[in-house]
Amino acid sequence: MSGAAPIEPWLLEKLVCPVSRAPLRWDEARQTLVSDAAGLAFPVRDGVPVLVAREATPL
């Protein structure tokens, strides 16, 4: 798997954390969307961000 985000860049710019409402960033090492404000990592499954707090893992 490449390090590029599996989501379109225009969509990534619009996504926010469901907990903090802060922007998300792509973490290449974890292959997840990260909310630095909330300290959570959200999975991306089959190219679809799973922005559900109970699915997130703490950083």
What are the helix (H) ranges across the chain?
9-14
Assess if residue 1 is contained within a domain.
no
Please say if the pLDDT value at position 49 is more than 80.
Answer: yes
Assess if residue 25 is contained within a domain.
yes
Boundaries of domain holding 17: 9-58
% of the chain at pLDDT higher than 90: 78
% of the chain at pLDDT higher than 70: 92
User: CA 22 to CA 17: how far, in whole Å?
Assistant: 5
Strands (E), the chain: 25-27, 32-35, 40-45, 48-49, 57-58
Residue 44's CATH number: 2.20.25.10
What is the torsion angle, in degrees rounded to the nearest 10, for the CA atoms of residue 45, residue 1, residue 57 and residue 11? Answer: -60
**pTM, two decimal places:** 0.87
pLDDT tens per residue, range 16-37: 999 999 999 999 999 999 999 9
Number of domains in the chain: 1
Q: What are phi and psi of 23, to 5 degrees?
A: -60, 155
